[in-house]
Structure 1
Amino acid sequence: MAKYLDVHPENPQPRIIDSVVDTIRKDGLLAYPTDSCYALGSRVGSHDGITRIREIRRLDDRHHFTLMCANFSQLGQLVHVDNNVFRAVKSATPGAYTFILPATKEVPRQLLHPKKKTVGVRIPDHVVTQTLLAALGEPLLSSTLLLPDEEEPLTQGWEIKERLDHQVDVVLDSGDCGTVPTTVVDFSAGEPEILRVGAGDPTRFE
C-alpha cells in the first residue's frame, strides 16, 4: 500500500519532504503535485521506476520522459542548449513548459527517444516540487499522471491513493494543482515546434 502524505502547499514540512526523498533514493515511485497537474516521479537512474511508469501509463519507447529540474544550471547538464534556445527557454522558466532537447551523456539511454536521442526537461513553478528537488539534490524522472484511456490527469490526492494504491509507493498531496499538463515545445531542430498546447502560454514560441 502507498503512503499518503499531506504536505502544506506553501510551507512544506521538512520531515515529510525528507521521507519522500528517502523513498525516491530507494528506487520508490512517487505521485506528486506540480504547477500543471499531478505527475509520477522516480530517481533518474532507476530502471524499476521507468518500468513502473511505463506500465501504469502503458507507454511505448517513443514516449518522451521529462526530467524535472530545480534550476537552469541543473537543466544545462542534461541537454544541449545553443544561445538562441537558451534565451527562449530561460525566459519561460520556471513555468508550465516542457522542452524537448538533445540529451547529453548524463541522461540514461533508456530515457531517450530511440531515434532522436532527445529528452524532455522542465523547471516547475511550484513550492512543493521545488522543495522536493532541493532536498533530493538531483533531477527527478517525471511523467504526467494521465492514465490509459482517460482524457484528463488525476487531480485529487485521495483518488490517486485509491486507484494506484498498489502501484506507487508514496502519494504526496498538497491540494489542488490543476488538470492541464504542460505546454510541450520541441527545440531539437533549433526552431520551436509546439507539440502540445497546455498550461503554459504557447504564443511566445509561435
Structure 2
Amino acid sequence: MRHKINPDNPQLRLIRHVVDSLRQGGVIIYPTDTTYGLGCDIFNPKGIKKIYQIKQRDPRKPFSFICSDLTEVANYAHVSNFAFRILKRHLPGPYTFILEASKVVPDSLTTRQKTVGIRIPDNTISRMIVQELGHPLVTTSANISGENVIQDPEIIDPRIERLVDVIVDGGPSMGKESSVISLIGDRIEVLREGAGDLSWID
C-alpha cells in the first residue's frame, strides 16, 4: 500500500491509516528530513527483526528511533542539563544523538553499553506518525546495508518495496544521512559526519 501525503500539511486520515498498520505490526517506508527510512513500532520485536532481515544488517548493530519532541526523548533516555541544551538548540534537525537509554527502551534497540540513538527529524510527516502512534518509531535508512540511501520514493529498491506493508510518499528527501553525535558523559563526540552542520562543535 502506498499513501501520498502532503509534506507541509499531512492529511490526518492518511497518517492514521499508517499508524493502524504500525499497531498491527507493520513495517513502513517513510520520509525524514534526511533520507527515506524503514520503521516499525519500537515495541514490535517481530517488526524490528524483519527490518534487520530487509536491510541484511548485523543484529549486533541496534537501530535508532524517532521521538516527536524533547519531552518524549526524556522518557526514553537520560538527558543531562548539558545534553538538553544541545538537543534544544539543534532539534528538530538532521542529527542522531547518542544518549544513555532509560529502562523503557527494548534491549534490541540498545548497545551493550545501554546507549541509544535518538532523532527528532525536521519532517512533519514522521513526527505526526510518532505523535499519533503514541511512542517512538524505529528509524534506519530504507536501503540494503552498504548500498545507496533512498532520496526519491518513486525509485525504492524492489527488493525492499515488496517486503514492507506501507510506503509513505512525502516527496523527495535530502538524500544524505544524519550526523551522529554522542553526548555520553557530557562529552561531544562526532561518530558520523552527515547532513547536520558540525561547525558549532569546538
**5 Å matches for 1:50-65?**
50-65=48-63
Deviation at 1:110, TM superposition (A): 1.4
Contact 2:25 2:46 in 1 (8 A): yes
C-alpha distance in 1 between matches for 2:171 and 2:157 = 13
Counterpart position of 2:15: 17
Counterpart position of 1:86: 84
Counterpart position of 2:122: 125
Pairwise CA RMSD of aligned residues? 1.4
Counterpart position of 1:110: 108
| Cα offsets for 1:84-111 (capped at 9, x unmatched) | 1211122111111000111000101111
Is 1:177 aligned to 2:173, yes or no?
A: yes
Deviating above 3 A after TM superposition, structure 1's stretches of 4 or more consecutive aligned residues are: none
TM-score between both structures, scaled by the size of structure 2: 0.94
Counterpart position of 2:98: 100
Counterpart position of 1:147: 144
Counterpart position of 1:6: 4
1:136/1:200 Cα in 2 relative to 1: closer, same or farther (>3 Å)?
same
Is 1:33 aligned to 2:34, yes or no?
A: no
Contact 1:4 1:161 in 2 (8 A): no
Deviation at 1:161, TM superposition (A): 6.8
Structure 1 unaligned blocks of 5 or more: none
TM-score between both structures, scaled by the size of structure 1: 0.93
Percent identity of paired positions between Structure 1 and Structure 2 = 36
Contact 1:42 1:141 in 2 (8 A): yes
> Which secondary structure does the structure 2 equivalent of 1:158 belong to?
helix
C-alpha distance in 1 between matches for 2:198 and 2:39 = 25
> Which secondary structure does the structure 2 equivalent of 1:205 belong to?
coil
- AA matched with 1:196: R
- AA matched with 2:6: H
Count, aligned residues: 202
C-alpha distance in 2 between matches for 1:165 and 1:203 = 37
